[in-house]
Amino acid sequence: MRFKVSMINDLGNCHDQTVLANNANEAKRNVQTINPNSKVLKAKWVHK
């Protein structure tokens, strides 16, 4: 499944990243390992 994860970094910049994961919690964990300085705001399921 695809999830669009919204994040904000220390400087206040918001950005989105689309990841493949089984559920929203896994998507958040995957993004957090890639961007450790960013705070995850939400993960939303998206389709093609």
pLDDT in tens, 1-48: 999 999 999 999 999 999 999 999 999 999 999 989 999 999 999 987
User: Are the C-beta atoms of residues 7 and 41 closer than 8 Å to each other?
Assistant: yes
The angle subtended at Cα 16 by Cα 26 and Cα 41, nearest 5°, is: 60
What is the C-alpha to C-alpha distance for residues 10 and 21, in angstroms, rounded to an integer?
25
Q: What was the pLDDT predicted at 44?
A: 96
Q: What was the pLDDT predicted at 47?
A: 86
